[in-house]
Structure 1
Amino acid sequence: MSGDAAGPSGTVSTKRKRQENADDGKKRRKSGGADADADADADADDYKAQIQTLEAEILESKKHYNNIAALLELAQKHDEDRKPALAATKALCRIFIRLLASGSLVRRKDVSDKDATVTSWLRDRLADYRAVLLSMFRSTKLALNALVLAMALLKAEAQHLSDREDAVFPRHFFSDIVAAILESPIDQLRQEFAEKFVNEYEDIRFYTFEAIKNYLAEREHSVDDAIRDIVFETLLGMEDVPESSEALENFWIEPPQKKKHPLRSLSQHKKQAQEAWLALMHLGLSREQRKKVLEVMATSIAPWFTKPELLMDFLTDCYNSGGSISLLALSGVFYLMQERNLDYPEFFTKLYSLLDADMLHSKHRSRFLRLLDTFLGSSHLPAVMVASFIKRLARLALNAPPSAIVAIVPWFYNLFKKHPLTTFMMHRVPRTKEEKELMESDGVDDPFLPGEKDPMETCAIDSCLWEIVQLQSHYHPNVATIAKIISEQFTKQAYSVEDFLDHSYGSLFEAEMSKEVKKPPVVEFMIPKRIFTKAGAADEEKDSLLVSLWDFGSS
Structure 2
Amino acid sequence: MQFVDVEAQSLLNSSNHFFPNILFRRIIYTLLTLKHYNQGLISEFVTTYLLEFDDIRYYTYKNLTTFIKKRSQSVRQKSKICESELSTRIFDLISSVCFPRVPSELNAYYAPIETEYTAKTVITKTRKLLEQEADIVSLSAHRKVFSHFWLSFLRQLLPLRVYKRVLLMLEKSIIPFLNKPRLLIDFLTESYDKGGVYSLLSLSGLYVLITKYDLDYNDFYKKLYSLLDHQLFFMKHRHRFLALMDQCLSSPLLSASLVAAFIKRLCRLALRAPLSGVAVILPLIYNLLRRHPNTLPMIHRYKSAGEDCYDYQEVDPERSLAIESSLWELDALMNHYVPSLSKFAASFKEPFGVADYKIGEFLNHDYTKIIEEELKKKVKSVPLEFSTPSGLLTPAMPMWTLD
Matched, 1:172 2:42: no
Question: Which is further off, 380-389 or 518-527?
Answer: 518-527
- CA deviations 1:181-214 (Å, max 9, x no partner) are 3336432322222122111111100101122223
Shift of 1:469: 0.9
**Alignment check: 8 A CA contact 1:235 1:277 kept:** no
Within 5 Å, give how 1:432-451 maps onto structure 2: 443=305, 445-451=307-313
Matched, 1:465 2:338: no
**Alignment check: 8 A CA contact 1:315 1:329 kept:** yes
Shift of 1:309: 2.2
The residue aligned with 1:247 is 105
Shift of 1:166: 6.9
**Alignment check: 8 A CA contact 1:241 1:303 kept:** no
The residue aligned with 1:346 is 219
The residue aligned with 2:229 is 356
Give the counterpart letter for 2:206 in structure 1. V
Matched, 1:303 2:176: yes
Matched, 1:234 2:93: yes
The residue aligned with 1:396 is 269
- Residue 296 of structure 2 aligns to a residue whose secondary structure is helix
**Alignment check: 8 A CA contact 1:181 1:190 kept:** yes
**Alignment check: 8 A CA contact 1:166 1:256 kept:** no
Normalising by structure 2, what TM-score?
0.85
The residue aligned with 1:335 is 208
Distance in 2, matches of 1:231 and 1:529, equals 81
Shift of 1:320: 0.9
Question: Which is further off, 340-349 or 498-507?
Answer: 498-507
User: CA 1:174–1:426 in 2, change beyond 3 Å: closer, same or farther?
Assistant: same
- CA deviations 1:435-459 (Å, max 9, x no partner) are xxxx6xxx46322121221122221
Residue from 191, 210, 215 that aligns with 2:62: 210
The residue aligned with 1:73 is none
Residue from 42, 46, 49 that aligns with 1:190: 42
- CA deviations 1:453-496 (Å, max 9, x no partner) are 11222211111111011100112212211111101122453322
Distance in 2, matches of 1:177 and 1:153, equals 11
Question: Which is further off, 361-370 or 383-392?
Answer: 361-370
Greater RCO (Cα-Cα under 8 Å, separation 6 or more) = 2
The residue aligned with 1:138 is none
The residue aligned with 1:128 is none
Give the counterpart letter for 1:299 in structure 2. K
Distance in 2, matches of 1:520 and 1:467, equals 31
Distance in 1, matches of 2:144 and 2:278, equals 45
Give the counterpart letter for 1:326 in structure 2. S
- CA deviations 1:125-165 (Å, max 9, x no partner) are xxxxxxxxxxxxxxxxxxxxxxxxxx232122123147635
Give the counterpart letter for 1:515 in structure 2. K
Distance in 2, matches of 1:157 and 1:228, equals 30
The residue aligned with 1:326 is 199
- CA deviations 1:21-48 (Å, max 9, x no partner) are xxxxxxxxxxxxxxxxxxxxxxxxxxxx
Matched, 1:541 2:397: yes
**Alignment check: 8 A CA contact 1:406 1:478 kept:** no
Look at both structures and tell me which one has the larger radius of gyration over its CA atoms.
1
Matched, 1:415 2:265: no
Distance in 1, matches of 2:293 and 2:398, equals 57
Distance in 2, matches of 1:491 and 1:369, equals 21
Distance in 2, matches of 1:365 and 1:444, equals 32
Matched, 1:521 2:383: yes
Residue from 477, 501, 513 that aligns with 2:339: 477
Matched, 1:427 2:300: yes
- Residue 516 of structure 1 aligns to a residue whose secondary structure is coil
Unaligned 5+ segments in structure 1 are 1-150, 431-438, 544-555
**Alignment check: 8 A CA contact 2:266 2:285 kept:** no
Distance in 2, matches of 1:209 and 1:488, equals 57
The residue aligned with 1:496 is 358
The residue aligned with 2:120 is none
- Residue 398 of structure 1 aligns to a residue whose secondary structure is helix
Shift of 1:270: 2.2
- CA deviations 1:48-73 (Å, max 9, x no partner) are xxxxxxxxxxxxxxxxxxxxxxxxxx
- Residue 489 of structure 1 aligns to a residue whose secondary structure is coil
- CA deviations 1:397-434 (Å, max 9, x no partner) are 1101122112211222222221111111111149xxxx
Distance in 1, matches of 2:356 and 2:71, equals 56
**Alignment check: 8 A CA contact 2:12 2:113 kept:** no
Residue from 260, 270, 275 that aligns with 2:143: 270
**Alignment check: 8 A CA contact 2:51 2:57 kept:** yes
- Residue 319 of structure 2 aligns to a residue whose secondary structure is coil
- Residue 474 of structure 1 aligns to a residue whose secondary structure is coil
Matched, 1:511 2:373: yes
Unaligned 5+ segments in structure 2 are 116-129
Give the counterpart letter for 2:169 in structure 1. V
Shift of 1:391: 0.7
Shift of 1:523: 5.5
Shift of 1:528: 12
Distance in 1, matches of 2:398 and 2:185, equals 75
Distance in 2, matches of 1:507 and 1:421, equals 35
Distance in 2, matches of 1:542 and 1:488, equals 50
Question: Which is further off, 215-224 or 166-175?
Answer: 215-224
Give the counterpart letter for 1:253 in structure 2. A
Normalising by structure 1, what TM-score?
0.63
Distance in 2, matches of 1:179 and 1:259, equals 25
- Residue 24 of structure 2 aligns to a residue whose secondary structure is helix
**Alignment check: 8 A CA contact 1:416 1:422 kept:** yes
Residue from 281, 284, 287 that aligns with 2:160: 287
User: CA 1:231–1:521 in 2, change beyond 3 Å: closer, same or farther?
Assistant: farther
User: CA 1:451–1:519 in 2, change beyond 3 Å: closer, same or farther?
Assistant: same
Shift of 1:218: 4.0
